[in-house]
Structure 1
Amino acid sequence: MAYRYWCGECSYRTPWLSESVGEEQQTDHYARKHPGIPPGGHVEVNRGNPDGGSGCLRIVAIALLLLVLAAACRR
């Protein structure tokens, strides 16, 4: 799973990250931009593939490469 933390004070949000890294980035943001205010906002959870679904693309690319290699060997 991947997590995206949203600031409760402004429009800042972290990229999709692991839970611990996202929380750390949000805490750092609050320390820099909103000193003295405890971190707040909300957390968005991506329960799907955190890499954006590129696994399918890799499989298709490998299959296409194998097809091209097979065609090249027949000539």
Structure 2
Amino acid sequence: MAHRYWCDECGHRTPRLDPADAERRHLEHYAAHHPGTAPAGHVETGRRTGGCACLGLTVLLLLLPLLAAACHR
């Protein structure tokens, strides 16, 4: 699962990386750009992709036989 850290001070964000690398990059950002400030912000975890497409296809496949049956009568 990918993680992305957001900086609370300036809005910088890390790329989507594995959790350890994303945290390391977040800490490096704070050390370089906000020395003396405790790292803060929030973390995003992996994105859901393709969920709507699968849902639409499932609905279509379920409704197609009903539509065919209604037209056949």
Partners of 2:9 and 2:36 lie apart in 1 by 12
Partners of 1:47 and 1:4 lie apart in 2 by 10
What TM-score results when the alignment is normalised by the length of structure 1?
0.61
Q: Which ranges of structure 2 fall in alignment gaps of 5 or more residues?
A: 50-73
Q: Which structure has the bigger radius of gyration?
A: 2
What TM-score results when the alignment is normalised by the length of structure 2?
0.63
Q: Which runs of 4+ in 1 moved over 3 A?
A: none
Equivalent pairs counted in the alignment come to: 49
Deviation, structure 1 residue 41: 0.1
Deviation, structure 1 residue 47: 5.2
In the alignment, which residue of structure 1 is the partner of 2:27? 27
In the alignment, which residue of structure 1 is the partner of 2:13? 13
Tell me how large the CA RMSD over aligned residues is.
Answer: 1.3
Percent sequence identity over aligned pairs: 51
Q: Which ranges of structure 1 fall in alignment gaps of 5 or more residues?
A: 50-75
In the alignment, which residue of structure 2 is the partner of 1:37? 37
